Amino acid sequence: MDKDEIKSVLEAILFVWSEPISVKELSKALAVDVKNINNVLEEMINEYNFGKRGLQIIKMNDHYQLSTRPEHYSYIQKLVEPKQNKGLTQAALETLAIIAYKQPITKIEIEEIRGVKCDKAISTLQEKNLIEEQGRLEKIGRPIIYGTTLSFLKTFGLKSIEDLPDISEFKLLTQETNDIKHIFTKG
């Protein structure tokens, strides 16, 4: 099977499947090895992005899914029932950001950073399947450890956790923190 044919079959399968499908399954269906499938899919992602296509291929870890592009939102919205997705609250988003970057993390650690109780935010995030319990810490009280889910990756358009925006870019705060003592001696 040549590359164009692989692309063609992959497009067909992604369309029919419509839900995230793993490279392994695609490899099995096409009888083409995983590495090859991954390479072709990466190429396809680029072609879709630069070819002014109406669709895009989303990657989450080793799963792929076909969807529309955000820029066509307003046209599609005219035809379908309005989405009623209410966004997450500030509290839930802050909690999610902390979990995303510091996972695995316990509730107490999250609360130390936010300075407030986070029970409600955590249960909202769990209900929305954005975070999950990933075990318990072997210390007093055996606190639950939280981490993000695969749905989280999809919802925030991330290929994997490594894809999270570099937090040090956010005003270089970590470095500044290290300098605090030094600055304080001046005051």
Partner 1 sequence: MAYTIKIEAFEGPFDLLFHLIEKNEIDIYDIPINDITEQYLHYIYEMEKLDLDVTSEFLVMAATLIEIKSKMLLPKDVFVEEGIEVEDIDPRDELVRKLLEYKKYKAVTEEFKKREGLYNRIYFKAKEEIIFESHDHDKILDNLEINDLINAFNKLLKDTSKKIQDPYYNIREIEREPVSIEDKLVDILNILNHKKKITFQSIFTSIADKLEVVVTFLALLELMKVKKIKVIQEKCFDGIMIELVD
Shortest CB 129 distance to a copy of itself, Å: 15
d(CA 39, CA 23): 11
- Cβ-based nearer residue to a copy of itself, 53 or 136: 53
- The structure tokens listed for 28 are 């099995």
d(CA 39, CA 64): 13
Cis peptide leading into 82, omega within 30 of 0? no
d(CA 118, CA 144): 13
Q: Can residue 8 be called a binding residue for a copy of itself (CB under 8 A)?
A: yes
Q: Can residue 80 be called a binding residue for a copy of itself (CB under 8 A)?
A: yes
Shortest CB 32 distance to partner 1, Å: 20
Task: Give Cα 90 distance to the centre of its chain.
Answer: 18
Q: Can residue 183 be called a binding residue for a copy of itself (CB under 8 A)?
A: no
Shortest CB 173 distance to a copy of itself, Å: 18
Which residues contact a copy of itself (rule: CB under 8 A)?
Answer: 4-5, 7-17, 21, 25, 28-30, 52-55, 66, 68-69, 72, 75-76, 78-80, 140-141
